[in-house]
Amino acid sequence: MIDPKKIEDIAKQIGNAIPPQVRQFADEVEAKVKQVLQSKLAELDFVSREEFDVQRQVLLRTREKLEKLEQQLAALMAEKTQDLKSQPLPSSDQE
């Protein structure tokens, strides 16, 4: 997720950009901006770097397993094809 310190820094920067005449409301504005940022960022579908890395590893392992299964299937199909080719055809001499 987004670092709360970053959100606080952004809110503070926006609060500091307020003209001096309105500075008395800066704390209130800063709090509101922080609240809105947290709310909107929470709506987004972010994952932490740790979650991303874990899912990446799962995907890599799954891909490796799939490749092995594809190789096994190809070998079995080749074996089956070879078996079918080596079997004699049934005779059509039915008298």
Mean per-residue pLDDT over the chain, rounded: 84
Domain housing 53? 48-85
Higher-confidence position of 46 and 61: 61
Number of folded domains that form the chain: 2
49-72 tens-digit pLDDT? 899 999 999 999 999 999 999 999
Residue 76 forms part of a structural domain? yes
Q: Are residues 39 and 52 in the same domain?
A: no
**pLDDT tens digits for 25-37?**
777 877 888 888 8
How many C-beta atoms lie closer than 10 Å to residue 29's C-beta?
16
Q: Does the residue 94 lie in any domain?
A: no
In the chain, pLDDT over 70 holds for what percent of residues?
A: 91
Tell me what pLDDT residue 58 has. 98
Q: What are phi and psi of 89, to 5 degrees?
A: -70, 145
Rounded Cα distance, 67 and 85, in Å: 27
Instruction: Over range 66-84, report the average pLDDT.
Output: 93
